[in-house]
A and B are shown apart, each in its own frame.
Chain A
Amino acid sequence: MNKSIKGILIIVLLFIIIYFLQINFFSWFNISGVMPNLFVILVLFIGLFVGNKLGGVFGLAIGIILDITFGRTVGVTGVLLAIIGLIGEYFDKNFSKDNRMMIILVSIACTILFEVGMYIFKFATLKIDIDIPAFAITLLIENLFNSLLIIIFYTGIKKIGYYLEDTFKGRKLLTRYF
């Protein structure tokens, strides 16, 4: 099987696993009703390891699927996730992926970007009442949850990430040590 197709299949499989974890498992395994946002982490991970082109494309595709399944309008989730996929490579060029703290900080920044973007869009289109304290607390718990999951699964994330990086960019694992 072509290496790139194998890489894409791995990403699709990751999306399916994350989808069912997010929809089923985390609907009861949550902190005071607040779930993590694994889709943001997945798209960021694709952008960081695979590059901005596939990051953007997968971000857009995943967002559109989520919009079709759960959204009121189609597009906004796709656009925001595509932005996260696109800027993933920027973070890769400027920071080290081998640093767990860096991955956590980048994921916090991306989660804030995504959720604030969604909230503003919801406010603009549905005229909802803005409740900044409640929004901030929920966002804080969501980021805490995301960060703890990254700490726990960092080794696995890195292994799959470098495999995909090698597949799509042709880099060898050792290059990161130079």
Chain B
Amino acid sequence: MKNGKTSVIGVLIATVILIVIIVVSNWGNEKMSFIQNGVSLITIPIQNAFAFVKDKINNNDQEISDIDSLKNENKELRDENTKLKEAERELEVLKSENNTLKDYLNLKNKYADYSTIPAYIVERTYSNYDKIVIINVGSKDGIDINMPVISESGLVGHVISVTENSAKVQTIIDTASTVSSTISTADESILVKGTISNNEQLKASSIPANATVLQGDAVVTSGLGGIYPKGILIGTIKEIVNTKNQTDRYANIQTATNFNTLQTVLVLTAK
């Protein structure tokens, strides 16, 4: 009996710990609104109680005289509410479709010089060490290996394998990815690689000793390497890490594409 109780307590503690860790680890910009929500959750009932007491004192509370009419009114309001909810759901579906179509249109306009095939990310890898995504277009749509994939914001990666209806895309944040790039303020090529630890950060190495690299500089593809066309935005320099040896210095790049929320992409094909 005691063991059973201990086991239940253990499971409860582990569940609470897991949820707390996940919530805390995913605190981002919403941190403040989360705190505000928590505070309002406590304060609003108290405020309501005060308001109720105040109304009572001022004799502002209304007498309930006709319960039947209120019941009818309540039923009508409930029906109306159900209809409104249905309409809202339909609107949400339309809004989502509209956003997807807008995304496709924006992307197509931005890369008008290339032939493009729009695609949707249908699966993401299960591994913490690989950053591969599966898109819903394949060889029957004209997709081939090594075709570059972009988002509205910038470079996503390239196709590494294709089936008839889907394709695997190795993203630029994968540790096996290396992209030849240039910094907007310099002509020299640098190498941009993915990292394990961060889904929104890349590491730029092989920065020439004489190159002036500044925080906020845009990093774009150099066109070297045969996969990516020249000039696709990769991200911006977030931090420059200087080492004793000037040739070993590297920079952290904030990716232009938000890989955590990425859903719509375009595959660039030869025109």
In the complex the two chains form, is A69's CB within 8 Å of B175's CB? Answer: no
Q: Could you list which residues of chain A lie within 8 angstroms of chain B, going by C-beta atoms?
A: 22-23, 27, 29-35, 37, 39, 66, 69-70, 72, 100, 115, 118-119, 122, 126, 128-129, 131, 134-135, 137-138, 142, 144-145, 148-149, 151-152, 154-155
B158 contacts the other chain (CB 8 A):
no
Q: Which of A29, A69, A128, A144 contacts B123 (CB 8 A)?
A: A69
Which stretch, B41-49, B91-99, B127-135, B239-247, touches the partner chain A?
B127-135
B residues 143-166 with Cβ under 8 Å of A? 160-161
> Which residues on the B side are within 8 Å of A70 (C-beta)?
123, 125-127, 130, 132, 134, 168
**A131 near B195 (CB under 8 angstroms)?**
yes
Secondary structure of the A contact surface, majority rule: helix
Would you mind naming 26 contact pairs between A and B with Cβ atoms under 8 Å apart?
A23-B124, A29-B22, A31-B22, A33-B260, A37-B127, A37-B128, A66-B126, A69-B134, A70-B123, A70-B130, A70-B132, A70-B134, A72-B132, A72-B160, A72-B170, A119-B129, A129-B193, A131-B196, A135-B196, A138-B129, A138-B197, A148-B18, A149-B18, A151-B14, A152-B14, A154-B7
Question: How many Cβ-Cβ contacts under 8 Å join chain A to chain B?
Answer: 88
Residues of B within 8 A of A (CB): 7, 10-11, 14-15, 17-18, 21-22, 25-26, 123-130, 132, 134, 160-161, 168, 170, 175-176, 193, 195-199, 260
Question: Which B residues are CB-close (under 8 A) to A155?
Answer: 7, 11
